Amino acid sequence: MAIEINSKSRNYKAALVLPNILGAFCLILALVLGGLYLFFSLNFEKINKSILEKENDSLALTQSILEKEIEIIPIKDKIVNFQFLISEHKSPINILAIIEKNCFPNVWFSDLEFNFKEMSASLSGHTDNLATVEQQFASIEKEPLLAEVSLSGISLLGGDEEEGEVMKEGVDFNLNLIFKPEVFDK
């Protein structure tokens, strides 16, 4: 008895295995690609929705920011105006301190007119005699924050009665002071 080997059957089985493996691989590959497509298409829709929500939120936030800026603009203008007023404000405190420091005890100043633009002051004063006027003038002339000092309107007063009124005695005078710009720095 002889065993016959059929070579055709072996080739037939080998020929069927390779296409089956390739078919199964293609089927698995198609399923994987289809699953990935579905996965990414669903995620893509979720991402698009998220982007639209973020854009809507950012538009609302931008609108809110613009509204706040509109509210802030008048406040900013007021601050700028106030800064200008503060920077241009000149306080007469230093000027009054200079006058007080240099005023003699027996000299009375009754009127003070100050011109901030010209940085000058005009003082109307009264004292008992001309010597005190001279000393007062010399004292205030030494002040380093004064650019110029002048004396004017000197009037000698007598003690005569005029229609029932007693006139005051002494000397009336006017001091004109021009200040240096540094007077406002201190």
- pLDDT recorded at residue 19: 79
Q: Tell me: the pLDDT tens digits for 62-98?
A: 999 999 999 888 888 888 888 877 776 666 677 888 8
Token pair of 159 as six digits: 């003690």
Helix/strand/coil for 169: coil
pTM of the predicted model as reported, rounded to 2 decimal places = 0.49
Q: What is the mean pLDDT of residues 100-129?
A: 87
Question: Which of the four pLDDT bands, split at 50, 70 and 90, describes residue 174?
Answer: very high
Q: What is the mean pLDDT of residues 22-27?
A: 91
Q: H helices within the chain, ranges in order? A: 7-88, 93-102, 130-141
